[in-house]
Homo-oligomer: A and B are copies of this chain.
Amino acid sequence: MPQYERILITGAAGRLGTILRPGLAHLASKIRVAGRHPFDDLCPNEEEAVFDLSDMDATIAATESCDAIVHFGGASVESPWQTILDASIRGSYHIYEGARKNGIKRIVYASSVHAIGFHEIEAQIGVDAPVRPDSLYGVSKNFVESLSRLYWDKFGIESVCLRIFSSFPEPTDRRHLWSYLSFDDCVRLVEASLTAPRVGHTISFGMSDNKVKTVDNTGANHLGYRPQDNSEPFRAAVEAKTPAPDPKSLSTRYLGGFFCELGHPDDESASVR
């Protein structure tokens, strides 16, 4: 018998949402997949909720009857302020209000390495290090980390904030060789976050078991996450097609990679990949 009645997955049409849908299926009787557009590939165990996170009433309504939320919706890269504000800041507030009003027990939130992107690699920070966002995107992650702390301390809703590094089908650049989080490990990490006996308010980094480790995740050991993958199988290919990194470039020096080099997203000339 699954642990949860109904898990809401926001951002379910996104890159990671798509792999979480089948990956978390065994944890709940029903998965409610949320997105801005109708889904054309619903599985029997799924039901859909179509709404925009910036719509408070709709968002709160979508959390009804759920007992856990996997909140991966909102902006997924650096974006103009208005997008960050509506999708990530206001949208996440709506999610937490839904959780409070509808008695949700636990939320797993897709925070990001960009919440602490301006820390140096050699600093080997732990999960308790002060925030150093590398973008408005990162600032919005700090906002939700703070908001979720309040909702735990005051309203008793547990949260795990996952500072995901680079979760892609495979590593495609040199930085990915240490920041890679395989899709399977991503599912393992979210599953661990949903099933750990007690999380209170926990912040965890999210990476596979890559050789080069740039942060210390000891503080999240109670999640029980054990990565099974690593970037070594992709190393030769990546190194063959990309030059050796410049250790002094901002992209190599700081955890956040090229986000640290981005200009302001509201500037016309800002380059956002």
Interface residues of A (CB under 8 A from B): 3, 81, 85, 89-90, 93, 97, 100, 105-106, 118, 120-122, 124, 128, 130-136, 138-139, 142-143, 145-147, 149-150, 153-156, 158, 174-175, 177-178, 192, 196-202, 210-214, 216, 218-219, 221-224, 226, 244-245, 247-248, 252-253, 260, 264, 266
CB contacts (< 8 Å) of A199 on chain B: these are 122, 247
Closest approach, in angstroms, between the C-beta of A26 and any C-beta of chain B?
13
Given contacts A118-B153, A154-B260, contact A213 B224 (CB under 8 A): yes
Set B143, B150, B196: member contacting A135, Cβ < 8 A: B150
Give the oligomeric copy count. 6
B150 touches A134 (CB 8 A): yes
Given contacts A133-B146, A247-B158, A264-B100, contact A124 B222 (CB under 8 A): yes
Given contacts A198-B245, A245-B197, contact A146 B142 (CB under 8 A): yes
Set B85, B213, B218: member contacting A216, Cβ < 8 A: B218
A132 and B150 alpha carbons, distance in the complex (Å): 7
A27 and B122 alpha carbons, distance in the complex (Å): 23
Q: Which residue of B lies closest to A244 (CB)?
A: B3
A200 and B214 alpha carbons, distance in the complex (Å): 13
Set B106, B121, B134, B158: member contacting A198, Cβ < 8 A: B121
B133 touches A149 (CB 8 A): yes
